[in-house]
Structure 1
Amino acid sequence: MPGFRHDVGSAYDRGGFVYPECPRWHDGQLWFADQHDGLVHVLSGDGIRRDSFAVPGGPSGMGWLPGGDLLVVSMNDRKLFRRGRDGKLTLHADLADVHPFHSNDMVVDSEGRAFVGNIGFDFYAGQPPAPTVLAMVAPDGKVGIAADGLMCPNGAVISPDGRTLIIAESMAARLTAFDIGAGGALSNRRQFAAVDGHVPDGICLDAEGHVWAASPYEKLVLRVSPSGDIVERVEIPDANPYACMLGGADGRDLFICVAPHHDPEVTVKLRGGRIDVVRAPAPGAGRP
């Protein structure tokens, strides 16, 4: 298999996190959800914690509306909250009617439409994987179905031109792409890449069209080319990487959310979550 292994650099902020997930680089800061601790943390460009706030039901995916308000998923409660500049959370959408189990990661487009995935089955109870839907929440909070038949729609990205959505189907070992049409309608569903032997979790997109995908059970972060090939790997030998994000001053810092386990009963005892950083060959998509 082509490619090479990067060596992991320094830990950005070991901080005693529980289970960091869904990182975002926004306004020169790293935002991420400490899901099992019920908090969103905001770190400065040099790793100093600038803000933390609680999200009922445990935070997951995040994105910003055109006016600057934050949207954040409440994972266990299957809701989408809106956080204004005053720091107050208000209900933006209730996802319980379309999400059969925990809501999960999401991506928000330039028009303020949120595409929200969910696990689709009771993972912790040992239920078998089942197909589920990708919800689309309009800027006014109206909930619809963007796509169905997805096997645990997880991390998602949108191309800088706003025309393509790529999502990790964790329980299908693949990345799936859609065209985004008028009003956010998804069409032309196709395989972006098969990642056999991996459970792709959080993802991000670089300026060369490659997708970085966390593969927690293999302790790797994969760089997948537009042709669907795995061309680079980052190995995390001592823990599991669950999500990744490109950011930093030049967009080439790959922030990796790492934890020793995924079970909340284990993670809250260990508090072994951290953010690792490696230098990437290309900046994040949309960077100048």
Structure 2
Amino acid sequence: MIKTRPATLVASGFTFLEGPRWHASGLYVSDFYSETVLRIEEDGSHVPVCSVPGRPSGLGFLADGSMLIVSMLGRTIMRWDGTRLTTHAEFGHLIDGYANDMLVTPEGWAFVGNFGNTDADPGSLRTTGLVRVSPSGGADIVARPLVFPNGIVFSSNHDQIIVAETFAGRLTAFDYTVDARGGPVLGGRRVLKQFNVAPEYLDIERAARELDALPDGLAVDAEGAVWVASANSHAALRIAPDGEILEAVDVGELSAYAVALGGHDGQTLYLCCSPPLGVSDPSTTFESVLMAARVDAPAASFERKPCHSQFAL
């Protein structure tokens, strides 16, 4: 039997929470349909940080403390310096689908996932890749082909990145190196975890019916295990480096769409939860919540130049 932990409610009343990142002793999270990035404290109190047109999603922080924010509909990365929102990168010419989650490297590069399907039409799903964005805002596509690349994280020892291919039911790992110019290079592709048999089709609705897990947001702990939010189940799963399912966090009648490790000691798993796919319209309801569970292994740490964030309250 897989060990199962309960989750408790931290905060409620949101449209659809995504992209959580622990930074400067607080959790930063996007609320899609209010077009707002929030900071949530450990006690559940929260304040808006900034408004982002085009629906905010993936978040990340640069060495100077400024925040990068994906605008899903704008197919851009925005930059918030504590007082002003500016455009950091535009990549609408590279992808057809909505932009989505994001990983920002310690060197200031970014990888952005995307839906792959045109304007979120379930019937138009196609393979795509990750958008790679340089610190100066230049963009290209890497790691093709991927099926709905979603959550993106570093491995605990920083030598791989792991990508959730949601509607393939798969976690895919790439070796991560840096070239002579400081640019990140992805290679050595392998499957870390395949839920069920790999589907031979590109079909969102069928995948949601047939796959036990639709991997979404990811987090990595210090033991190298990956916490996986699943958009069609009622738990987040902890996956060992060899693909074994180690444990789960139960979120009741909701589904977990994104996760982050944080808290004062790094051992709180935060879960962005909403009703299962198709149950309600998140653009018109406020049923999304933040939940949390205490876990044994803290978040993996990655070396970054120290900074004094403008966002600490």
Q: Given the two structures, how large is their TM-score scaled by the length of structure 1?
A: 0.93
The letter for the 2-side match of 1:156 is I
1:223 aligns with 2:222: no
- Cα distance in structure 2, aligned partners of 1:174 and 1:261: 19
1:192 aligns with 2:182: no
CA RMSD in angstroms comes to: 1.8
Conserved 8 A contact 1:95-1:143:
yes
- Cα distance in structure 1, aligned partners of 2:190 and 2:81: 36
Superposed displacement of residue 144, structure 1: 1.5
Give a deviation string over 1:17-45, Cα, whole Å, max 9, x none. Answer: 00001111001000000012211110123
| Residue of structure 1 in register with 2:162 after alignment | 166
Out of 127, 130, 134, the residue aligned to residue 126 of structure 2 is 130
The letter for the 1-side match of 2:80 is R
Conserved 8 A contact 2:156-2:223:
no
1:284 aligns with 2:295: no
Partner SS state of residue 269, structure 1: coil
Out of 12, 27, 30, the residue aligned to residue 24 of structure 2 is 27
Give a deviation string over 1:213-258, Cα, whole Å, max 9, x none. Answer: 1112112211000111111112222212101111101111111001
1:13 aligns with 2:11: yes
- Cα distance in structure 2, aligned partners of 1:69 and 1:162: 22
What pairs up with 1:52-201 in 2 under 5 angstroms? 52-85=49-82, 87-122=83-118, 124-182=120-178, 183-196=183-196, 197-201=212-216
Instruction: Name the % identity.
Output: 36
Aligned pairs, number: 284
Conserved 8 A contact 1:71-1:82:
yes
- Cα distance in structure 1, aligned partners of 2:193 and 2:69: 28
Deviates more, 1:134-143 or 1:46-55: 46-55
- Cα distance in structure 2, aligned partners of 1:76 and 1:44: 28
Conserved 8 A contact 1:254-1:280:
yes
| Residue of structure 2 in register with 1:48 after alignment | 45
| Residue of structure 2 in register with 1:245 after alignment | 260
- Cα distance in structure 2, aligned partners of 1:172 and 1:12: 31
Partner SS state of residue 216, structure 2: coil
Give a deviation string over 1:43-87, Cα, whole Å, max 9, x none. Answer: 1232211333210100000111122211100001111111113x2
Conserved 8 A contact 1:155-1:201:
yes
- Cα distance in structure 2, aligned partners of 1:287 and 1:187: 21
Assess, with a 3 A threshold, how the Cα gap between structure 1 residues 39 and 264 changes in structure 2: closer, same or farther: farther
Q: Given the two structures, how large is their TM-score scaled by the length of structure 2?
A: 0.86
Out of 275, 286, 289, the residue aligned to residue 260 of structure 1 is 275
Deviates more, 1:39-48 or 1:271-280: 39-48
Partner SS state of residue 171, structure 1: helix
Q: Which runs of 5+ in 2 are unaligned?
A: 197-211, 304-313
Partner SS state of residue 96, structure 1: coil
Conserved 8 A contact 1:110-1:162:
no
Conserved 8 A contact 2:270-2:290:
yes
- Cα distance in structure 1, aligned partners of 2:28 and 2:244: 29
Give a deviation string over 1:144-192, Cα, whole Å, max 9, x none. Answer: 2221100011001113543211110111111111111222011101111
Q: Which runs of 5+ in 1 are unaligned?
A: none
Superposed displacement of residue 195, structure 1: 2.2
